[in-house]
């Protein structure tokens, strides 16, 4: 008894599987074509260009940082093929069966007529009508319908078209650089061109005992930790001797001084060889006296007479 039950169960399962597989009306395959580019990173390096000379004789230095990469680039042409079919919906047989009968009769008539017309009728009238009619008459299959079609991925073919090398050399733009000065470590940012502007008379170095800073160590690292770079700048003994005095000349209260003191501070910075700092202080004093034309004129005349410097208000030009 159990054997008979098992045989009936297996037979029903096979019939069901056959029924389900026969429900789908298969359509022609559809293909998609696209191009795919595969980039393989071969080399990734960082470079810190501290410029020349390697010994700092001036408090300011522009350091350029670059990120270099090399890639192996492979181009592929990808073809995806899809099996398409019309899923079976039993309720559609209500109208497909009578329409199928009409289509078969029309197809047979078209084939008879085609014989008389020496085969001049198109296949859509002779062959397609009969195919449509037979699918409509089949109670276990719907007729083809592109509107209801579903698809499954059948295969993927990739054909290599080209392989070449690509190189990039980009600035380390707006990214951090670790700067170690003595026992202190600072994180500074490059600008959008990958340039780091170091100034030992500006923050954060101005807040340290700059006279004891004998060297600067610069280091960078990418986010994944795969590429690193380091560079060193030596601060000359001569520059270290100037930094304390230059710091006082630049940062002491300007409003508490008079014209003679202002001119002395500008001239002294120039005598120390810090011409860029002298020019910046000069322009700061011109800005400070903008609302007092008489005081500004006195400062400019004293600057020319006592320091031999010809300066002018840039906004007055």
Residue-wise pLDDT tens digits, 36-86: 999 999 999 999 999 999 899 999 999 999 999 999 999 999 999 998 888
Average pLDDT over residues 234-248: 89
129 confidence band (pLDDT: 50, 70, 90): low
> Is-contact 286 313, C-beta < 8 A?
yes
Do 141 and 30 sit in the same domain of this protein?
yes
Tell me, letter by letter, the H, E, C secondary structure of the chain. CHHHHHHHHHHHHHHHHHHHHCCCEEEEEEEEEEEEEEEEEEEEEEEEECCCCCEECCCEEEEEEEEEEEEEEEEEEEEEEEEEEECCCHHHHHHHHHHHHHHHHHHHHHHHHHHHCCCCCCHHHHHHHHHHHHHHHCCCCCCCCCCCCEEEEEEEEEEEEEEEEEEEEEECCCCEEEEEECCEEEEEECCCCCEEEEECCCCCHHHCCHHHCCEEEEEEECCCCCCEEEEEEEECHHHHHHHHHHHHHHHCCCCCCCHHHHHHHHHHHHHCCCHHHHHHHHHHHHHHCCCCHHHHHHHHHHHHHHHCCCCCCHHHC
Q: Is residue 186 part of a domain?
A: no
Average pLDDT over residues 260-278: 90
**Residues ≥6 apart with Cβ < 8 Å to 50:** 61, 63, 218, 231, 232, 233
313 confidence band (pLDDT: 50, 70, 90): low
> Is-contact 41 69, C-beta < 8 A?
yes
Q: Is residue 52 part of a domain?
A: no
Q: Is residue 48 part of a domain?
A: no
Residue-wise pLDDT tens digits, 191-215: 999 999 999 988 888 777 777 788 8
24 confidence band (pLDDT: 50, 70, 90): low
Do 27 and 140 sit in the same domain of this protein?
yes
Q: Is residue 130 part of a domain?
A: yes
d(CA 198, CA 61): 5
| Residue-range definition of the domain harbouring residue 309 | 252-317
The backbone torsions φ and ψ at residue 213, rounded to the nearest 5 degrees and listed phi first, read: -85, 105
Residue-wise pLDDT tens digits, 174-183: 999 999 988 8
Q: Is residue 39 part of a domain?
A: no
Distance of CA 183 to the CA centre of its chain: 37
Do 29 and 147 sit in the same domain of this protein?
yes
Nearest of 132, 25, 140 to residue 84 by alpha carbon: 25
Selected residue with higher pLDDT from 101 and 196: 196
Q: What is the structure's pLDDT at 205? A: 84
Average pLDDT over residues 7-12: 45
- Structure-token pair, residue 87: 């899923």
> Is-contact 188 176, C-beta < 8 A?
yes
Task: Tell me if the pTM is above 0.75.
Answer: no
Q: What is the structure's pLDDT at 157? A: 92
pLDDT at 14 over 50: no
252 confidence band (pLDDT: 50, 70, 90): confident
Selected residue with higher pLDDT from 204 and 97: 204
Q: Which among 155, 190, 207 is the end of a domain?
A: 155
- Domain total of the chain: 2
pLDDT at 235 over 60: yes
Strand partners, 181: 184, 216
* Residue bearing tokens 């520059």: 239
Q: Is residue 257 part of a domain?
A: yes
Q: Is residue 282 part of a domain?
A: yes
Q: What is the structure's pLDDT at 21? A: 43
Q: Which among 88, 121, 155 is the end of a domain?
A: 155
pLDDT at 20 over 70: no
Average pLDDT over residues 297-308: 84
Q: Which among 99, 121, 155 is the end of a domain?
A: 155
Strand partners, 124: none
Helix axes 293-307, 259-271, angle to 10 degrees: 40
Q: Is residue 165 part of a domain?
A: no
Q: What is the structure's pLDDT at 188? A: 94
């Amino acid at each position: 008894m159990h054997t008979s039950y098992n045989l009936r169960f297996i037979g029903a399962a096979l019939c069901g599987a056959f029924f389900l597989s026969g429900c789908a009306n298969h359509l022609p395959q559809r293909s998609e074509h696209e191009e795919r580019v595969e980039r393989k990173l071969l080399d990734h390096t960082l470079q810190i260009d501290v410029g020349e000379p390697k010994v700092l004789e001036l408090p300011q230095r522009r350091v350029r940082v670059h990120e270099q990469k090399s890639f192996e680039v492979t181009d592929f042409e990808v073809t995806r093929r899809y099996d398409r079919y019309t899923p079976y919906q039993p309720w559609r047989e209500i109208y497909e069966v009578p329409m199928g009968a009409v289509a078969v009769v029309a197809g047979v008539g078209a084939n008879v007529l085609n014989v008389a017309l020496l085969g001049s009728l198109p296949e859509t009238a002779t062959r397609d009508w009969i195919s449509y009619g037979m699918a409509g008459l089949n109670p276990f299959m719907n007729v083809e319908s592109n509107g209801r079609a579903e698809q499954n991925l059948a295969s993927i073919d990739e054909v290599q078209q080209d392989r070449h090398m690509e190189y990039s050399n980009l600035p380390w733009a707006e990214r951090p650089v670790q700067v170690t000065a003595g026992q202190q470590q600072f994180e500074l940012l490059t600008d959008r061109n990958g340039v780091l502007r170091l100034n030992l008379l500006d923050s954060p170095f101005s807040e340290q005992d700059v006279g004891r800073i004998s060297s600067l160590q610069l280091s960078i690292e990418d986010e994944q930790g795969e590429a690193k770079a380091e560079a060193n700048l030596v601060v000359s003994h001569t520059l270290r001797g100037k930094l304390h005095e230059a710091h006082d000349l630049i940062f002491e209260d300007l409003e508490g001084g008079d014209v003679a003191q202002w001119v002395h501070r500008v001239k002294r910075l120039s005598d120390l060889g810090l011409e860029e700092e002298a020019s910046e202080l000069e322009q700061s004093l011109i800005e400070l006296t903008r609302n007092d034309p008489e005081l500004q004129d006195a400062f400019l005349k004293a600057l020319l007479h006592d320091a031999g410097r010809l300066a002018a208000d840039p906004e007055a030009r």
